[in-house]
Structure 1
Amino acid sequence: MIAETVTAFNERWWNNFLESTNVLKKTNVFHNCMQKQETASMREDVMKIIRLIAINNIPEFGFRLYIEGKNIASKELSSFFENFTPGNDEKFEEWSERAFGDKKFGIIINRGEKFNPTLVEKIAKKITPLTEKVGIPRLGVTFTIFIGNYGWTPLGIHTDGLGENVMHFHLGKGGKTMYTWDVETYEKIVEPANRFNNTKIEEILDKANVFDFEDGDIYFMPYGEYHVGKSDELSIGLTLWFNNHTESALAKKLIDSLLFNNLEESYEILPMDTSPYYDFENFEDVKKLFHNNFGDKNFLTLLESTYRDYKMALYSNAGFWEPPFPKAEKIDHNLNFKIKIKEPFKIIYYSDSDSLLNLFIRGKKISLINNSSIIDLIKKLNSGEQLQKETVFNTLDISWNLDIKKYVLDIFFENHIIIVDYA
């Protein structure tokens, strides 16, 4: 009897994944999940991220570089970007040789999802069957990208944040090894003062669990395990973080969002306070900065509205925390075209007034005039239907002039939710 082949990332594969990880509680490796041409394409996507960061010289967006174990400071990074911006067609291996030669190096890029929507789309398609089974992490999904041949992870032995389960998509070409220790074993053999960012790795390797993986493999690890990676060969690893932090962490994130959306930024220098301790009239200096609607509702009602927007934004982006940067490219409305939604994403919406329709597109809230024809168009797109240009314009309000209809389409396009196919 010939065994049935299970395609990676389909429902049966994810069922096996959940069983093999004890429903996201056990470390494991899954081999041959991606074809070589797919990982090569994803390495090119990562190179586009490095190129974008280098061209714009923005290391503050979570870019860290280590050369021969030394963390390169911001000023040196600026010089590095100027001299070693990857070329448009330069392969990862070619750029690494040009930039580093024989030196050992490591690059860590946090929140990589905001820099390359195409890479997010590829990963989102893979993990959607999983999130449909187990749900979306309450604080979203994020990328961290590990690049190089740096040997031991520069951070040393450590644990990840509370509630942060990680899935490592290994993009090759070289392999990688992860060493893990369960909490009881590790804390028995390592003194408290030395447990975090521990670089005395070889001394306790005999007590470690060892996981080897290669190009196209996936490594899963639940939060709480002490671990360290080793990459002697040149490789890229895309780590996908499922962020289920504490209830307090979610509450604080919502409060930050509430303040961001309701508090005007002021650069006025405060005067010295000459009033007596029982006089609070100068609280007006703070009160005036809040939007008018802030005073019309109680705090928890406002926070609940913030949570609604936060959750709908997260779901509109397949669980990913960061929305992509808007496209600079525009639709050429002089040509004929068809449009289709980018799977697995959906446009989510609600209306809380007669005048505004609130759309959530790839993690971003956009408010438009409340018109039922926009909802009709969204329903057609969300169904997966490919729509002719004429159908789109006929669906939108007949009383609108052509520029308004183009504007609606442009919003969809610049926020990476539709594919435009020019016929």
Structure 2
Amino acid sequence: MMEDTKKALTKDWWLLFIEENFSFTETKVFKDVLSESLQENLYKGVKEMLQSRINRLDISNGFRLYQKGEEIGDSKVRNLIRENKLGSQESIESYCKRIFGENYGIITNYGERHSDILAENVLEAIQPLFDIIGIPPWGVELTTFIGNYGWTPLGIHTDQRGENVLHFHLGPGKKTMYTWNEDVYKEVGKGVSNNKDVEPLLEYAQKYEFGRGDLYYMPWNKHHIGFSGDFSIGVTLWFNNPTKCSFSKLMIESIKNMFLKDDMNIIESQLDYLNNEQTFNDFIGTLNISSKTLNEPLVDFLQYTYKEYKKCLLSNGGWQNIPLRHHKKVENTNHCFPEFEFKKIVGSNVFKITHEKEEDRLLVYVRGVRLSFKYFEGLVKIIDMVNTGKVIEVQDVIEEIDDLPKDVVIYFLKTLVNNRGLKIQEAPLEEIQFQ
């Protein structure tokens, strides 16, 4: 415990971090700063993420496997893992060596989507930094690097504009990063992206070596490549500060995600096409927006969308990607969460559920999602109960909220559980069904 106290990533530590990397402009290695408990929790989170990916065969979006520097296609990856699940007793290194061979690399995106352990522990580690600099407009997200793949298979490259990176290194092997300033690389590397002809350019690079327990920071505008000779695991956190154009595209996408109904009715052909207003009425009818909002000026609607996006992001702690739901849709049936009425539930101390009243609706913001219910004071009371972070008996909630039918209370709680706002106490990962 004494060691963990010494290595706590406090507000003072993060202030020193900012000072030593010259306000996020310079690459820097911070040696031996990750506590044993944080390393252990991040390892558990990486394993939880891999179990979510591998055991559900979810490798289509953000899962890349490389063997001897060559990317392996999705169908071949599925064939490798279909009958080879990652169990609770096997280590990540042992499993990967057994299934993927001696020389491999796994790069996975959206770690916060697949592991609550990762999402909660990384967020707790960086919260003091958020308190100093604020939350990036596009939030943060996680990528993991696993294996002993030698040179990063992507070649020498730069990251997305504005996306600064923090690398939490779990080891056990060391990793070496080589970086080139933009003007240097333009001259010696001709500015080539994903350049795999690395050796001739190393003499012009800056070299950074880090090992287990170290933290590596790099700004977005550095050409770089990594080398991992021995097996190691790294968890990277991306601070997504987008361009103005990218953020505007995100706002437009948010309109679609938050307000567009999935109406599959066919629109018929039209006479007097230019003057026929029916298509416009059909378009407006697919927007799940109150009449009051629709009749306000466009700039008010855009600001409304902007604020709703931010409320959702904050409810997810700043994580860009929402976690996986347990089920595609929760109905008031027992098969979603068997014997739910007799379970214990617990709210998160990290991700608080927020709510607002809008006309006759209760808008609930939970883990990045905006849910809409008919307004009842009892539902607000439930949110207040679970936001305490205490373990609660579902039966006790039913008894406390005596002005609502039991089925309504159970459905509301199931919906919060389904969207990761609540957890069923002591539900093992292997017992949870993912969709």
Normalization by structure 1: what TM-score? 0.86
1:320 deviates by 0.1
For structure 1, the 5+ residue unaligned runs are none
Partner residue, 1:204: 201
- Partner secondary structure for residue 211 of structure 1: strand
Given that residues 121 and 343 in structure 1 are in contact (C-alpha distance below 8 angstroms), is that contact kept between their aligned partners in structure 2?
A: no
1:390-405 map, 5 Å: 392-393=397-398, 396=401, 398-405=402-409
1:9-408 map, 5 Å: 9-36=9-36, 38-102=38-102, 104-192=103-191, 194=192, 196-264=193-261, 280-281=274-275, 285=279, 288-290=282-284, 291=286, 296-327=295-326, 330=337, 335=342, 337=344, 340-353=346-359, 355-379=360-384, 381-382=386-387, 392-393=397-398, 396=401, 398-408=402-412
1:107 deviates by 1.0
1:101 deviates by 3.1
Give, in whole Å, the separation in 2 of the partners of 1:274 and 1:419. 55
Report the more deviating stretch, 82-91 or 262-271: 262-271
Q: Using a 3 Å threshold, how does the CA distance of structure 1 residues 44 and 70 change in structure 2: closer, same or farther?
A: same
For structure 2, the 5+ residue unaligned runs are 328-335, 427-435
Could you tell me which amino acid in structure 1 is paired with residue 157 of structure 2?
H
Given that residues 62 and 110 in structure 1 are in contact (C-alpha distance below 8 angstroms), is that contact kept between their aligned partners in structure 2?
A: yes
Give, in whole Å, the separation in 1 of the partners of 2:167 and 2:287. 46
Given that residues 36 and 215 in structure 1 are in contact (C-alpha distance below 8 angstroms), is that contact kept between their aligned partners in structure 2?
A: no
State the Cα deviation string for residues 102-160 of structure 1 (Å, max 9, x = none).
2x111111112111122111111111111121111111111111111111111111111
Could you tell me which amino acid in structure 2 is paired with residue 201 of structure 1?
V
Could you tell me which amino acid in structure 2 is paired with residue 161 of structure 1?
Q
Give, in whole Å, the separation in 1 of the partners of 2:258 and 2:423. 30
Could you tell me which amino acid in structure 2 is paired with residue 231 of structure 1?
S
- Partner secondary structure for residue 29 of structure 1: strand
Give, in whole Å, the separation in 2 of the partners of 1:128 and 1:36. 19
Give, in whole Å, the separation in 1 of the partners of 2:257 and 2:165. 29
Q: Using a 3 Å threshold, how does the CA distance of structure 1 residues 388 and 27 change in structure 2: closer, same or farther?
A: same
Q: Using a 3 Å threshold, how does the CA distance of structure 1 residues 89 and 29 change in structure 2: closer, same or farther?
A: same
Q: Using a 3 Å threshold, how does the CA distance of structure 1 residues 26 and 376 change in structure 2: closer, same or farther?
A: farther
State the Cα deviation string for residues 40-99 of structure 1 (Å, max 9, x = none).
443343233223222322321211111011111122122122254323321112112211
Q: Percent identity?
A: 32
Give, in whole Å, the separation in 1 of the partners of 2:342 and 2:260. 43
Normalization by structure 2: what TM-score? 0.84
Give, in whole Å, the separation in 1 of the partners of 2:19 and 2:251. 34
Could you tell me which amino acid in structure 1 is paired with residue 179 of structure 2?
T
Could you tell me which amino acid in structure 2 is paired with residue 288 of structure 1?
D
State the Cα deviation string for residues 274-333 of structure 1 (Å, max 9, x = none).
98xxx5257855762442566645543332222121100101111001111124674855
Give, in whole Å, the separation in 2 of the partners of 1:395 and 1:380. 10
Q: Using a 3 Å threshold, how does the CA distance of structure 1 residues 390 and 71 change in structure 2: closer, same or farther?
A: closer
Give, in whole Å, the separation in 1 of the partners of 2:271 and 2:352. 56
Give, in whole Å, the separation in 2 of the partners of 1:292 and 1:127. 37
How many residues in Structure 1 have an aligned counterpart in Structure 2?
Answer: 410
- Partner secondary structure for residue 171 of structure 1: strand
Given that residues 107 and 147 in structure 1 are in contact (C-alpha distance below 8 angstroms), is that contact kept between their aligned partners in structure 2?
A: yes
Give, in whole Å, the separation in 2 of the partners of 1:352 and 1:267. 27
Given that residues 266 and 289 in structure 1 are in contact (C-alpha distance below 8 angstroms), is that contact kept between their aligned partners in structure 2?
A: no
Report the more deviating stretch, 152-161 or 289-298: 289-298
Could you tell me which amino acid in structure 2 is paired with residue 325 of structure 1?
L
Could you tell me which amino acid in structure 2 is paired with residue 139 of structure 1?
W
Partner residue, 2:332: none
Give, in whole Å, the separation in 1 of the partners of 2:261 and 2:68. 45
Could you tell me which amino acid in structure 2 is paired with residue 257 of structure 1?
S
Give, in whole Å, the separation in 2 of the partners of 1:32 and 1:327. 37
Give, in whole Å, the separation in 1 of the partners of 2:283 and 2:368. 27
